[in-house]
Structure 1
Amino acid sequence: MKNQYLYVLILFIFITLNSCWFDKSKPNRVYMPDMYYSDAYEPYSDPYPNYKKTLKKSGITLFIKGKTSSLLPVKGTIPRNSYGFNFYPSDGTQKGYNLYKKILKSPLKKSNKEEFNKIIEDGKNIYKINCSICHGENGDGQGFLVKKEKILGIPSYKDRDITIGSIYHVITYGKNNMSSYASQLNEIDRWKVAEYIMILKNQ
């Protein structure tokens, strides 16, 4: 009888230790690995060290010798979210800001009043969604969050020495307490907002 209890205890300890796995990012055992791990090409994924499966060798030259399936873009192409409206290379430094501050005119096409009004209208709508909560509807620095004292020190555009280029740079890279909005707004939208902010500044 004692031996039976001992066997049960040993079995319990074995199951407990076997189920322990301290690295939660790499599961110890997977019930159905074919469903858990994808066989598709995943360019930026890491190999699965605990997945004991025979890897299929690709006959495609580019994928042989452990090369990734993610390839560099063809020379001369541009990113899908880029329109070539970044005048100067910059990493958000003061030097880059000073370069962009010299830009007094946006690259957006404004051959007639109708096109200009459309740009300003778009810029106004984007500004209301993304900027007015801090900078205020009129660009006076009295947005909703400022009035609720959630953030402080937002200046009025009228009091700042800014240009359309410096506005674009700040939207792209951020400045002081303001973070970058490059992930929210593409290049064209950033220029549209900059156009509208200059309207607010000069009112």
Structure 2
Amino acid sequence: MEKVIIAGSAGSPNNVIKILKINQKLNIPILLCIHFSKNAIENFAHNIKNETGHEVIIVKNPIKLKPAVYLAEGGKDLLLKTSEIVNSGIYKDTKTHPSIEVLLNSIAKLNDKNFHIFILGGLGNDGAKIAKTLEEKGIKFYIEKNPSFEYLTNNFLKNLKYHKILGLEEMKNEIIKINKKRR
């Protein structure tokens, strides 16, 4: 099963909603790893549902993936236990939760190259070091073109050889293609 990961930080929440407005029913799971304060997750989930019409699941316990949008419980990280099971918890002492590094490290432990990872703008380098390992496993990366904050995207680009640099509309079109493959 194809799976989409959207990760980002500063300036990313509104862009997430823009690229999730695909005007079609989801046929794939989409896991969001956006740096957010603990108290903002519920509102973000509500905004995604209202703006896109997609089912949004805040992960509190291990849950089997289905076509929906997933967010970690406030102040926690998303982690894939298997290619089909996602959980939420604090798995590493990091400054930010959810941690992109925790999610990407959990993907690296799986024998599954059916991930499409979209990196949006932000600050820092959370998760960038594991990108090369994931790319070598055949996982595809899509990097935001001209983000408001280039630090996160630039740090990923330093570790990647094969990727696509796309604007938000192009990212949305990629997600539409991936979603159509699962019909």
TM range (shorter): under 0.3
Larger RCO, structures 1/2 (Cα 8 Å, 6+ apart): 2
Q: Which has the larger radius of gyration?
A: 1
Richer in helix (by share):
1
Instruction: Compute the TM-score of the two structures, normalised by the length of structure 1.
Output: 0.19
Instruction: Compute the TM-score of the two structures, normalised by the length of structure 2.
Output: 0.21
Richer in strand (by share):
2
